[in-house]
Amino acid sequence: MLELENLIGGELRASESKAWLDNVEPATGKPFARIPRSNAADVAAAVAAARSAFPGWSVTPFEQRAECLRKWGALIAQHSEALILAESQDNGKPVSLARAVDIPRAQKNLEFFAGAIEHFASDAHIPAGATHIHYTHRKPIGIVGCISPWNLPLYLFTWKIAPALAAGNCVIAKPSEVTPVTAWMLSKWAEEAGFPPGVFNVLHGLGHEAGQALVEHPEVKAISFTGGTQTGAHIARTTAGMFKKLSLELGGKNPAVIFADCDFEKAVATTIRSSFANQGQICLCSSRILIEDSIYDDFRDALVAKARRIVPGDPADQATKMGALVSAPHRDKVLGFIREAQELGATVLCGGEAALAPNERCETGYFVQPTVLEGLGPKCSINQQEIFGPVITLQRFHSEAEAVELANDSTYGLAATIWTQDAQKAHRVASNIESGIAWINCWLVRDLRTPFGGVKSSGVGREGGFEALRFFTEPQSVCIPTA
Ligand code: NAD
């Protein structure tokens, strides 16, 4: 069985606890690796290592920090096939998706922030005839914690650590205990990429143990967290009195607003993708499909026909488009929502059950059919709570105002997709929807320079481009006389 280690002070090692956690393959339900069950003692050791490394790393020229990130990116490219297979085995996602999205994007994240730090600059304020010059000195914060979820394991892990390291911080990262393998692989190449010992540390283990100890540590000055809204709220409460910098990327309940004047075929095809990609386990996935009354029946029928054709398969099979859900508890939670929907009077238009195992190897895996529900009101739990699986609901609207009202009838505000060929209406609706991100006639198209994040219960702060570098630096205003 594969045995993962923490990376502390440049050394790969087991936890001080000497305890381990099983890591299960979602497609088979069988353990294939074990990970250190890290605790507060491991956090203390990682903090000590980061503390020693910080004075050197924080003054390392940015070109050299960028070079380390680029080398790390090249190592991802060099080992990409192993990473693709590991990500698929660990998460249950199809290898085709890990190949097309997760692993190339992880490489891109490292390369992108290598470039970003080379172009990052701060402001100076010099009024005409100035007696004083004011400039902003952006300094690395110190030791920062990066905590990531299981749905896009290496993709989101690198999205946090890259800007943190580029800006000159020392990082203690905690990948999800559910999908730890690719973060461990990356940690093994940190030295080869050129990072001095202690600059980048990785702790594996449970959220309420290793994660909690990291969040609570007084020397960890900032926490960048992506995960569930409840966990985010708990972290915010824990750190409130400690005045740490916090970036919280949380859950979503994203509307797709389909107007009658949309490009019908494109809207159907993309809504299928935005609903069911990664088994619906992307925070940006559409989950509430709002359809204008005059095309409701046609759109529903076309969507359901396409959804019925998606058959969950073995993630290791190159042809598979939908894999397994990430864990047994998560599968049970998703199936529980579907049962609750039925009790509330929903009509199941397709799916609604655990899916048959695609082959003998996957007999005890966690497969769920793509599920389309109709007939539920906007206020019911199924339309309010994040399901985070291959389950969507359909609702009907009669006017632009009603579409916006339905879209905003949520405590979440992460992403929305809007389908119309009327550019003015598209812009108006996008600006009236309470979300951090709006896609018009497309989905999941990302420019890494743009701000990324949510409003309402979907989070606080923005990642991406210079926003991330601003988060991972502390601005100091300096004033100096001109004469
Ligand atoms: P989660 O909140 O259970 O866990 C996320 C991470 O936090 C894990 O590494 C976990 O170990 C850690 N953690 C748990 N409790 C902790 C604590 N008390 N202190 C510190 N760390 C703790 O989330 P998950 O189930 O892994 O991920 C799914 C959720 O993530 C969904 O809600 C999804 O919408 C959200 N998500 C959001 C975004 C975004 O960008 N907004 C992206 C991906 C996923």
Same domain flag for 90 and 214: yes
182: in domain = yes
- The token duo for 251 is 């859950």
Any residues with CB less than 8 A from the CB of 372 and at least 6 apart, and which? 300, 303, 304, 307, 348, 349, 350, 351, 392, 393, 394
Q: What percent of the chain has pLDDT over 70?
A: 100
CA distance 359 to 254: 33
**258 plus 242 within the same structural domain:** no
Determine, yes or no, domain membership for 452: no
What is the C-alpha separation between 81 and 87, in angstroms, rounded?
10
| Cα dihedral 435→441→447→449 (10° resolution) | -40
Question: What span, in angstroms and rounded, lies between the C-alpha atoms of 281 and 205?
Answer: 21
Q: Which two tokens stand for residue 283?
A: 């925070």
Q: Is 210 contained in some domain?
A: yes
283 is catalytic: yes
pLDDT of residue 37: 98
CA–CA dist 472, 138 (Å, integer):
9
Write down the catalytic residue from 249, 374, 463, 467: 249
The model's confidence at residue 116, banded by pLDDT at 50, 70 and 90, is very high
Distance CA 31, CA 335 (A): 23
Question: Residue 452 gets which letter from DSSP?
Answer: B
CATH number (domain holding residue 160): 3.40.605.10
Span 311-315, average pLDDT: 98
Position 79 confidence tier, pLDDT thresholds 50, 70, 90: very high
Clarify whether residues 86 and 161 are in a common domain: yes
Please indicate, yes or no, whether residues 258 and 246 belong to a single structural domain of this protein.
Answer: no
- Digit-coded pLDDT (tens) for 207-237: 999 999 999 999 999 999 999 999 999 999 9
Q: Identify whether 61 is part of a domain.
A: yes
Does residue 174 contact residue 210 with C-beta atoms inside 8 Å? yes
Q: Is 68 a catalytic residue?
A: no
Of 283, 285, 362, 463, which residue is the catalytic one?
A: 283
221 and 270, same domain (yes or no): no
Determine the distance separating the centroid of ligand 1 and the alpha carbon of 250, expressed in angstroms: 7
Ligand 1 mutation target, pool 90, 102, 146, 151, most atoms within 8 A of CB: 151
Mean pLDDT of 440-453: 97
- Chain centre to alpha carbon of residue 1: 28
Q: Tell whether 266 and 240 lie within a shared domain.
A: no
Query: What does the pLDDT look like over 8-28, one tens digit per residue?
Result: 999 999 999 999 999 999 999
Q: Is 483 exposed, middle or buried (0-12, 13-18, 19+ CB in 10 A)?
A: exposed
Q: Is the pTM of this model over 0.95?
A: yes
Confidence of residue 71 (pLDDT cuts 50, 70, 90): very high
Question: What total of structural domains would you count in the chain?
Answer: 2
Average pLDDT, the chain: 98
- Ligand 1 centroid–CA 76 distance in Å is 24
Domain that holds residue 440: 254-447
**Confidence band, pLDDT 50/70/90 cuts, at residue 390:** very high
Determine the straight-line distance between the first and last CA of the chain, rounded to whole angstroms: 69
Q: Quick one: 233 and 379 in the same domain?
A: no
Shared domain check, 265 and 211: no
Same domain, 202 and 266: no
Atom of ligand 1 nearest to the CA of 252: 34
Measured in Å, residue 291 CA sits from the centre of ligand 1 at 31
Does 293 map to a domain? yes
Pocket perturbation via mutation, ligand 1, pick of 148, 161, 231 by most ligand atoms within 8 A of CB: 231
The pLDDT of residue 51: 98
135, β-bridge pairs: 124, 478
**Eight-class DSSP state of 137:** E
Q: How far is the CA of 459 from the centre of ligand 1 (A)?
A: 12
We report the CATH number of the domain holding residue 324 as 3.40.309.10
Q: 66 CA to middle of ligand 1, Å? A: 28
Q: Does residue 332 share a domain with residue 463?
A: no
Name every protein residue with a CB atom under 6 angstroms from any ligand 1 atom. 147-151, 156, 174, 176-177, 207-208, 211-212, 215, 226-228, 231, 234-235, 249-252, 283, 386, 388, 414, 454, 459
Q: And the tokens for 39? A: 């605790």
- Is the residue at 453 inside a domain? no
Q: Looking at the structure, do residues 317 and 427 belong to the same domain, yes or no?
A: yes
- Closest ligand 1 atom to 175 CA: 9
For atom 6 of ligand 1, which residue has the closest CA?
149
Q: Is residue 232 included in any domain, yes or no?
A: yes
Do 228 and 278 belong together in one domain? no
